[in-house]
Each structure stands twice: as C-alpha cells, then as structure tokens.
Amino acid sequence: MSGNKPLEGRIALVTGASRGIGAATAKALAAAGAHVVITARNAGDLEQVEEAIHQNGGAATIAPMDLTESDSIARLANAVAERWDRLDILVINAAILPTLTPVTHIEQREFNRALTLNVLATQALLVNFDPLLKRGQQGRVIGMTSSVGSEARAFWGAYGASKAAFDTLLLTYAHEVQRISETRVAILDPGGTRTAMRARAFPGEDPEAVKPPEVVADRIVALLSEDFPTCHRERIEASGRT
C-alpha cells in the first residue's frame, strides 16, 4: 500500500455522488487509490465527476439510477458482485431534504419520498451489500447524517425524523455485525458545508461562510485510512478536525 494511495485496490461505492459532498468524496477516494462506483439520478452530472476522476489518474464506474426505484439497489449489488465479488467501502450520502415546515404542515407525499430515500433505501443498501462488505478488505460503511437527527429543531421535523431513523439503522447494523465480521460503521455529521442542500435550507447564507465539501471528503478518506472502532460518530468542523 502506497503512502500516497492509502486506499489502493479498494472498491468503493458512493451514493448521491453527482455533486456536493458525494462528488467530492468520490474524487478523494479515487485520488487515494480506490476504484469508485458512483451513483445518482443524473447521468450527465455523474459523467462529469467520472471525467474529473479519470483526468486525475483515478478509476471510476458510473451507475445512474434512482435508489428509490424497486429492485434498483439489488441490480447494482448484483453488478458489483459480478465484476468484483466484494465491496470494501460503502458511503451512504444520498438524501432528500423535505420542505422546512411545522410538523402540522408536513406534506405527506414529500415526507414519504424522504423516508423512502433516507431510510428505506439505506436499509436496502445494507441488505444487498452486506455479503459483499463481509467479503471485502475490512468492509467499511460511512453514513452521512445531520445534527437534527439527534437534536430536534423547529421546522426540521421531517428531515430530522428521517435522519434519526437513518442513524438507528446504521448503529443497529454495526452492533449486529461487529462480532461476526470485520465490517465497521461510522456516522459522520458534516456540519455546515457548501452544498445545494445547504443553500436550499439557508437561502440567505453566504456560501463562503461555510466550508467546501472537499474538507468533508478529506476527512472521510483519513478516517478510512485508520482502524476506527465500529459505531464511531463525529462531527466535522470547518478545519476538518472533529
């Protein structure tokens, strides 16, 4: 393993990889030596991320798909199994931010969409990729969460509820596999980060007032280069330190 390529030879999957933290993480993982499978709904945006990775000497495979569609995750897992027969790193980043509104005004259809992607798709990813993670090189799962999942905040009820369920699923999975495999799970709260989701939630905020997604991506690579304990949790501050 090269010091400049700490993840050389690893196979990684990043969801929500077409922009923001997901795109930055995919590029950082590839720069660290991993072959990165990147998925999101927009094929054009994924192709741009893939091109940037290739131009930097990295390796990537795009998988345009909607994680909320029936059997989409199973098909992706089958494709990864056929090509590599393992998965070393799973970064669960894709998420929907419902409209910020009082609990009594939450629109059910929008809430259902958020629960489907933020919660049900997460469980489906764990179901379908668990066997591949167990065959991987010390399988690692990184889940991107939010502080509103553990600390209630007015108007954030729909998103916060989905992230609370997301956290519970990942931590429960971590406890279930820690004694029977080398798979380890970490939940990261990126904190204030310059993303489209952040801009939607805080439309009056100066983007330059929060850190770029590359800071989060660098911390993810650093964490994956360490031997962290399962159920690890941290919040990433502006400097990249926890």
173 has catalytic annotation: no
How far apart, in whole angstroms, are the C-alpha atoms of residue 73 and residue 66?
A: 9
E strand residue ranges, the chain: 11-15, 35-39, 59-62, 89-92, 140-144, 184-189, 232-235
In terms of Cβ atoms closer than 10 Å to its own Cβ (0-12, 13-18, 19+), residue 91 is buried
Tell me which of 111, 129, 156, 159 is the catalytic residue. Answer: 159
* Per-residue CA distances from 61 to 12, 152, 182 (Å): 10, 38, 26
How far apart, in whole angstroms, are the C-alpha atoms of residue 153 and residue 168?
A: 18
Active site residues: 159
